A and B are shown apart, each in its own frame.
Chain A
Amino acid sequence: MKKAICLFLLFLMPLGLVFGTGSRESAVSPASETPSTRVVKDMLGNEIVLPAKGATYAVFGGPVSQIPAMLGVSDSVVAVTKGAQMMELMRLVDPSIVNKPAPRSTSGNVNVEELLLADPDCVISFDTDGNIVKNQTSIPVIFLEGGDMSVTIDEMKEEVRFFGKVFDAEERAEVFVQFLEKTVAMLEKRLSGLPADKQKRIFIGEGPSHLATLGGDTFITHWLKAAGLKNAVLDIQTTTEHQEGLHSGFLEISMEQVIKSNPDIIIIDTGKSEEIYNSPRWQGIKAVQNKQVYNIPTGIFLWTRPSAESVVLYPVWLAVKAYPELFSDFSMVDFMKDFYKTVFNYEISDENAERVIQSKMGRVVFSQIDRKP
């Protein structure tokens, strides 16, 4: 009896596969010649078996959530990350993300039942969420590496290439890698005349206090290097410990340390630069005297996270802000339009590109409300 059911199910499986992806293939015969499964090796070396065609995925992690849209494979993603789903530009680039279930809110918070309901063939995730899924469900996990905010530019390329392999869209991944390499080369060329002692120093000051920063051991140091800049708090390590309430990689430092490091430029993510210009605590710092305090742009995702978008656009934006004389013939908006078109196949309007730079691209805070049941 059992055997009969098994055989029956085995017979149904290819049928389901064919009809499930009916739009892509013309259903001729259920007895397909290609193997019904394929094996994917994750970044830790584990082997995960997936259906050869039509596999469905859950993607957990804010910065990586944009990669399926980049690769043009959003259709196969059935569960997403809440933080990414809430970003206005993410919703414009990939409108389908709005109505997908988002079982993962922040790192370490996975609604397992919602995940089971979405029923993906596998979950792509960094270790924290991945282990939750692994321990509580039988859904296989494709583990990513390097979720600790210390990734380099080369590791970003590898991350996107890895997604390319998993989603079987390696050419699209190469498009991104080439765009990134072209951008780094462009920056290098324009900044080639800049002597090392003329390099400006930058302080990332997040949170309402503007004191939560990314230290010398985080990705930002590599991004800044590409932009011909130096991290003002290069000597501080911020990935080694974790402060409750702050994203990993960020630590709050004291006001005195900021004054001591005396940055040329300050990037904030909360409030307005005038707040800092008018605060007596920040007086005497070069960035305040030269009025070089800027709000961080927000695009598909927050630019102060290691994402495919930020590794290309953030260094360019910073370099333009820091050395306007070297970029007098350069249009940031045009560059962004080229990037989103080439890499994400999305035509961003001039107005929206401006809004990204002006940090006016919003987040949809009560995202649950407009989710269809």
Chain B
Amino acid sequence: MEVSQSKRSKSILLVLFIILILSMLAALSVGRYQVPVKKILLVLESRIFGTPLKVEERIATVILNVRLPRIIAGFLVGAGLAISGAAFQAIFKNPLVSSQILGVASGAGFGAAIAILLSESLVLVQISSFFFGLLSVFMTYMLSRVRKKAPILMLVLSGIVVSSLFSALTSMTKYIADPLNKMPAITFWLLGSLNHIAKKDLYVLGPIMLAAMATIFILRWRINLLTMGDEEARSMGVRSERLKGIIIICATLITAASVCLCGIIGWIGLVIPHLGRLLVGPDNRNLIPVSVLVGGSFLIIVDCIARTASSSEIPIGVLTAIIGAPLFAILLRRNRREL
């Protein structure tokens, strides 16, 4: 039984991996600028083997500087939000949380808003957003500390407090911002889009996200122990407070980095782990890799829709909510006995 279960998980993982690769290839070849597949291959060939470019420079720009960073960012953000969602659902023993529960998104949003208000530099916006994202979770954590421990309930309540505070501060920033220029920019930024990703964003934030994801990935079997409760985990030799701390740090880094890259994208951290559970069950050893693959493919595919469906960009946060909410509703109906 155990053997067949793990075999089944393996084949599911393989299929999902193939889907991810296919969605990446598809994303590389669709867009408003139509590039024939042959030319895409020529661009990649010249890039990989260092041979001279046989196509126009503009086509190379589209493929290498516009689509490729977008696809990589889509994968990182989708996979990152899904993996942190899965980890949070395990440590909070609550299927309804995502990594935004501790206020990271509101904090990062406020950081971005204040930077847009005070400067015009996109780099500064990202730094400020990252910093405030981390700050808000730090505040939540400190607020919830009771006798060197951070009980789950206190964490959630503190998260609500900090998150509301930062949302209010964001609204305040919008209120005092220049209504012609800055205020619309803040609103638009908060909506989320992968349209602004540049290669250099990925050089900095990519490694951070990958490292945090790898850490959660390595710890995935310990996360299983956490779901059984602190007492049991301790009896198995896992220092649950420390483990919880590490996971919160990793998930926060991922979420703050993803808000930096593309604004606030909802629903992925909530829906994807549930989809994963439907496929491989609640065991985090399988669930975490599945979340990575499904989350990554999901965001890449949704982003393809966002940039090709209409002549203007559809904000991706809107699309993930439109697709995510009904999906979650279906999952809820199917799983209602287990919940």
Contact = CB atoms under 8 A, between A and B. Distances in A.
Interface string B310-321: 111101000000
Contact of B31 (A86, A235, A256): A256
A361 to B, nearest CB: 13
A254 B65 CA distance: 13
Interface residues of B, number: 45
A124 interface: no
A225 to B, nearest CB: 21
Contact of B188 (A105, A235, A252, A256): A252
B254 to A, nearest CB: 23
A270 B56 CA distance: 29
Interface in B41-72: 56-58, 60-62, 64-67
Contacts of B56: 284
A81 B58 CA distance: 44
B61 A259 contact: yes
What class of interface size applies to chain A in its complex with B?
Answer: 35 or more
Interface string A265-302: 00001110000000111111100000000000000001
A251 interface: yes
Interface in A348-373: 363, 365-366
Q: Which of B31, B183, B188, B193 has the most CB of A within 10 A?
A: B188
Given A245-B187, A245-B191, A283-B65, A83 B179 contact: yes
Nearest to B198: A281
B58 A259 contact: yes
Contacts of A245: 184-191
A178 interface: no
A33 interface: no
B32 interface: yes
Nearest to B121: A271
A62 interface: yes
Contacts of B122: 208, 271
Interface in B190-248: 190-191, 193, 195-196, 198-199
A280 B195 contact: no
B283 interface: no
Contacts of A192: none
Interface string B101-144: 00000000000000010001110010000000000000000000
A356 B118 CA distance: 22
Given A256-B32, A271-B121, A284-B61, A237 B311 contact: yes
Contacts of B312: 236, 238, 241, 243, 251-253
Contact of A283 (B61, B183, B188): B61
A266 B67 CA distance: 22
B5 interface: no
Contacts of A238: 312
Contacts of A207: 184-185, 188
A246 B181 CA distance: 9
A255 B56 CA distance: 17
Given A208-B189, A256-B67, A236 B198 contact: no
A114 B310 CA distance: 41
Nearest to B122: A208
B180 A363 contact: yes
Given A244-B191, A271-B121, A262 B58 contact: yes
A172 interface: no
B307 interface: yes
A254 B180 contact: no
A21 interface: no
Contact of B57 (A235, A256, A270, A284): A284
6 contacts: A83-B178, A236-B311, A252-B313, A256-B62, A283-B57, A365-B177
Given A255-B66, A280-B199, A365-B176, 15 more contacts: A208-B120, A208-B122, A211-B196, A211-B313, A212-B188, A241-B312, A243-B312, A251-B311, A251-B313, A252-B313, A253-B313, A254-B31, A255-B62, A256-B307, A283-B57
